[in-house]
Structure 1
Amino acid sequence: MAHNSRDSGNGFSDSSVHVDVKDYYGKRLQKTSDLKTGACVAPAQPLPAFVREALKKVHPEVTARYYGCGLVVPEGLEGCRILDLGCGSGRDCFMLSLLVGEKGHVTGIDMTEAQVEVARKYTDYHMKEFGYKEPNVTFVQGYMEALTEAGLQKNSFDIIISNCVVNLCPDKKRVLAEAHSVLKDGGELYFSDIYSSGRLTEEIKNHKVLWGECLGGALWWKDLLQLAEEVGFSQPRLVTASIPTVDDEQLRDILGDFKFVSATYRLFKVPKGNTKTCQVIYNGGITGAEDRFQFDSRYTFKTGEVVEVDGEAACILKHSRFAEDFTFQPPGGSCEPCCVKPKADTVDPFELALQSGSQGLGPATGGCCSTKTADCCK
């Protein structure tokens, strides 16, 4: 797939990849069941009751035009300003607009005009459904590689989410850099995506169907760690992982020995200073996680329990929206900057997926983008 470019009208170079993806998601796909693979799979964990209830309030047409990306809902949303990359028809945005409340705000951005039109069409419906006096959700047509060009302000969002769409962009580093730019200090990029076991061949990357199905543009998972650091994010924290399925035999032949994993990571915009290992106590104040808060695959905090965390996690908890939800009790003094910053060991998402029991042999069971999404959200 040659990445020839043309001006999209807002200064961003619109490549042939964008044109093909727009065609795939704007014309070829009319409903979730049109997807050809299980590269996009249902959430690895059951949705909290309050999220399920919020989803039930979303208009049926919005849900029907939502192409299968599994749900990515971080914790601590009340009053936050959230940006949804690749918002599609707006299902997640409307759900999130209810969870952030009237004092919060949700912005959705998507490059496909037909999808944005559906979202805008039903904005007033949802605001009336939620009982809001003023709309707290906005939809923008634009590119996730050019957020500021689309009119989004730097240092303006508390949280950015995306569900299985970063792989659809040719320039992943630019996406991460733009996300870092529009996040506030202490902000978080919480996203699910498809990753590969190695750098893909040109044949796979040039295959239009594989690209549209979230596989052809998959990043080698180790490259994510590198790119995140280069643009200024904290070390990516792996939350969940599962192995997707590819039922189409012809596509499996093209993919050969490459393996794929659906993984959710959280990246934070926090200071780079060195931080000691700390002991922390979760205070139990997060909605939906009052007794137990799974921060990532390494740390699950139970209310009132003392947990020793690595320096990276300590820095994130101290400088993010979670700071007030934790009491810090460093052993032998302060968890202030020091000469050594203990880092978390890198977690291999393929190993985590296998430990979780997801081996891609049956229906996909975790991550993002699923033909099973409608079922899991009932």
Structure 2
Amino acid sequence: MSKVPQGESTHEWVKDYYGKLLASSDDLQTNACCAAGAPAGWIASRLQHVHPEVSERFYGCGFPIPQAVEGATVLDLGCGTGRDAYVIAQFVGEQGRVIGLDMTDEQLSVARKTEAWHAERFGYAQPNTSFVQGYIEDLKGAGIEDASIDVIVSNCVVNLSPRKDLVLAEAYRALKSGGELYFSDVFVDRRLPEDVANDPLLHAECLGGALYQFDFETLAKATGFADPRVVSTSPITINNPEIMAKVGLASFVSVTYRLFKLEGLDAQCEDYGQTATYRGGVEGEERLFWLDDHHAFEAGRPERVCGNTAAMLASTRFAEFFEGKGCRQTHYGAFACGPTMAAAQYAGREVESGAVGATISAPKTSCC
């Protein structure tokens, strides 16, 4: 197999692929960079207000649109033409701010030229978006200050980076305490051979750079994101015989993760006798809120939670939507972590308009 062209960095090859070789998502050789399934209704209603040119040239493997971000500052890593940024701009409101960062001039050109169009479409006096050229491994170089961001999102971009450790470290630095990295990306069930990982087409198609999921979680924890949470997982099918032959039996999935910047989280689930009751109010999940793929909270229904889950609900932007009881003064031992009562009851059922509960696999012994 060939490697990324000699004398050309991974960054330059990816920039050329997405900036010059691809005219639209129809030109992709696989569906790895295409979101599977339909977005939830509360997201779909905002997608209707995104400029067609932005949507046509957007590439992503999920819908990492964060909830409860009114008035927040959100950073979109590898924003491309800005589809997700413009969806999120509607949720943060006129007083919020969305910063899109990308290294590809052609993509940024599309995002920037539609800023005024989107502001008018949203009914804003001024755009609440800005788009900057830069690298996701060097946010400081792009002007992103320490502890300045409430939520960082990314859609099928981290896999393209040759230094994923720097991506996570920079995200952690830029987030405020209690902030979140909420992103979708491609992962694989094994460590890929070097010839597969370095194949230029596989890399640009979001397969070659996919991380073995357990290696990613180890890296995230070492960076400071102590308890990575899986929100959803979708299979990726490669309908291309030539590429299927190259990757062999490796299996790829699109995973959406929540990584919170919280101090003092435990290395595993611990029991402090705490409960959390959802008050309702999160748009799109007014009756049933999913924190991750096995923690769902029905409005008004108390759920026992481990210390880490309690912190994720009490020390983040979700605090106003939850009533917590108990504290960490008394430790009762390891927490037998499995699906919450609501998660077990509503898994796979459509509870809100367009929102379907996660499919729960075997209960986990730990969230962490």
Who is 2:298 aligned against? 302
Secondary structure of the 2:159 match is helix
1:309 partner letter: V
Who is 1:235 aligned against? 227
Post-superposition offset of 1:281? 0.4
1:344-376 Cα shifts (integer Å, max 9, x gaps): 58xxxxxxxxx98xxxxxxxxxx9xxxxxxxxx
Who is 2:320 aligned against? 324
- Separation in 1 of the partners of 2:24 and 2:303? 45
Who is 1:172 aligned against? 164
Question: Does residue 70 of structure 2 align to residue 70 of structure 1?
Answer: no
1:285-330 Cα shifts (integer Å, max 9, x gaps): 2122110101111111100011112222112112111112111123
Highest relative contact order (Cα 8 Å, sep 6+), 1 or 2?
1
- Separation in 1 of the partners of 2:223 and 2:35? 30
- Separation in 2 of the partners of 1:70 and 1:242? 9
- Separation in 2 of the partners of 1:242 and 1:155? 32
Post-superposition offset of 1:53? 2.1
Secondary structure of the 1:270 match is coil
Contact 2:273 2:332 in 1 (8 A): no
Contact 1:311 1:341 in 2 (8 A): no
Who is 1:184 aligned against? 176
Who is 1:9 aligned against? none
1:214-263 Cα shifts (integer Å, max 9, x gaps): 00000010011111111111311011112101111111111112111111
Contact 1:189 1:266 in 2 (8 A): yes
Secondary structure of the 1:192 match is strand
- Separation in 1 of the partners of 2:13 and 2:259? 29
Post-superposition offset of 1:152? 0.9
Counterpart pick for 1:17 among 6, 10, 13? 10
After TM superposition, which residue ranges in structure 1, 4 or more long, deviate above 4 angstroms?
2-5, 336-345
Counterpart pick for 1:202 among 194, 215, 220? 194
Who is 1:225 aligned against? 217
Post-superposition offset of 1:74? 2.0
* TM-score, scaled relative to structure 1: 0.83
2:244 partner letter: R
Who is 1:100 aligned against? 92
Alignment of 1:13-92 (within 5 A): 16-43=9-36, 46-92=38-84
Counterpart pick for 2:119 among 127, 134, 140? 127
Q: Which runs of 5+ in 2 are unaligned?
A: 339-346, 349-357, 359-368
- Separation in 1 of the partners of 2:14 and 2:166? 18
- Separation in 1 of the partners of 2:335 and 2:140? 34
Q: What is the aligned length?
A: 336
Relative distance call for 1:336 and 1:145 in structure 2 (3 A) is: farther
Same amino acid, percent of matched pairs = 43
Relative distance call for 1:343 and 1:127 in structure 2 (3 A) is: farther
Contact 1:40 1:244 in 2 (8 A): no
1:58 partner letter: V
Secondary structure of the 1:265 match is strand
Counterpart pick for 1:215 among 207, 211, 217? 207
Post-superposition offset of 1:4? 7.9
* TM-score, scaled relative to structure 2: 0.86
